Amino acid sequence: MSKKIVFMGTPEFSVQTLKILSESQHDIVCVYSQSPKKSLRGLKVNLSPVQLEAKKLNLNVRTPKDLNTEEEYKYFKSLNPYLVIVVAYGKIIPKKYLDLSQKGFLNIHASLLPKWRGAAPIQRSIMNNDKETGISIMKIEEKLDAGPFMTQLKIKILEQTTAGILSDRLSKLGAEQILKCISLIIEDKAKFVNQEHGKATYAKKIEKSEAKINWKDSAKNILSKINSLNPSPGAWFAIKGIRYKIRKASISNLNGPIGEIINEDFIIGCKTNSIKVLEIQKEGRKILSINDFLIGNKFEKGEKISE
């Protein structure tokens, strides 16, 4: 049974679900995405991944800067959707919108709620050394990520799982489940489970200031930071005023002075154990394996990394 659906999403994480919906029997009457961002010099307008995909699919797209205008509210109301699917839209949806859909707003959230409500659940789960995470398909209510969920699916976080890898996996997981969830709602078989609000934790937005590596931390925590900030913004350190982003690393059992290169393989001492750099990116350059990097960049054992 075909139903009218509004889709709301912005980053690459949202695209898989939009594709799945577009291939289904349902009618996507409108796609909402955040307004295009200008490049630093304002010479180019960058459309969001969802807007680009919607254009390929010849779908109706809207990118309002503000949902609170009377014009936008009236337009949304005129769509009269059966259901609204939200995947990382990136804006708070005003309370008055939540009654404009016959079956409400269904959100795919990248954590096992109530853990990691908020803007950066993928990065925070890795940074926190969580062993697992997943997706929650939940009903949107007025409070942030506090609505009841109808399903949760778990996946493991491994030592080399980056935010990029985890995002891809969770995006596919959510997309694979969305049609099943819609069918349950249509058949009036959906069951929603209230969250345990007292166990809620919050995944605040990643700030660029967090990306600098503190070598006084343990190797385990530093590796988690490297993985959680890959691909963006990238965990970095500086030597002689030049920044270097570590793109891939592993934990070494060698010990040495904190914040020093302790051998010719570019292993760096930490509070406990050390970090073996596997892939690195010099400021303004491409990502290189550590072996290729060391061919053109000479560093001495005992060289200190800037605080």
pLDDT one-digit tens code per residue, 257-283: 999 999 999 999 999 999 999 999 999
Residue 1 pLDDT level (bands cut at 50, 70, 90): confident
Mean pLDDT of 163-177: 98
The token pair that represents 154 in the structure block: 């778990």
Q: Where are the domains of the chain?
A: 4-203, 208-296
Is the separation of the CB atoms in 215 and 237 below 8 Å?
yes
Residue 44 pLDDT level (bands cut at 50, 70, 90): confident
Q: What are phi and psi of 107, to 5 degrees?
A: -115, 135
The token pair that represents 63 in the structure block: 């990118």
More confident residue, 305 or 107: 107
Mean pLDDT of 51-70: 97
How much is the pLDDT for 41? 62
Q: What is the torsional sign of CA 50, 53, 57, 62? A: positive
Give CA–CA dist 266/274, Å, rounded: 10
The pLDDT of residue 233 is above 90 = yes
Question: Which one of 3.10.25.10, 1.10.1060.10, 3.40.50.720, 3.90.180.10 gives the CATH number of domain 208-296?
Answer: 3.10.25.10
Q: What is the CATH number of domain 4-203?
A: 3.40.50.170
Task: Reduce the DSSP state of residue 245 to 3 states and report it.
Answer: strand
How much is the pLDDT for 42? 60
How much is the pLDDT for 131? 98
Residue 164 pLDDT level (bands cut at 50, 70, 90): very high
Minimal CA–CA distance to 228: which of 262, 254, 204, 244?
A: 204
The pLDDT of residue 175 is above 80 = yes
Mean pLDDT of 82-99: 96
Is the separation of the CB atoms in 229 and 163 below 8 Å?
yes
Is the separation of the CB atoms in 138 and 106 below 8 Å?
yes
pLDDT in tens, 196-229: 999 999 999 999 999 999 999 999 999 999 999 9
The chain-wide mean pLDDT, for the chain, equals 96
Mean pLDDT of 129-144: 97
* % of the chain beyond a pLDDT of 90: 92
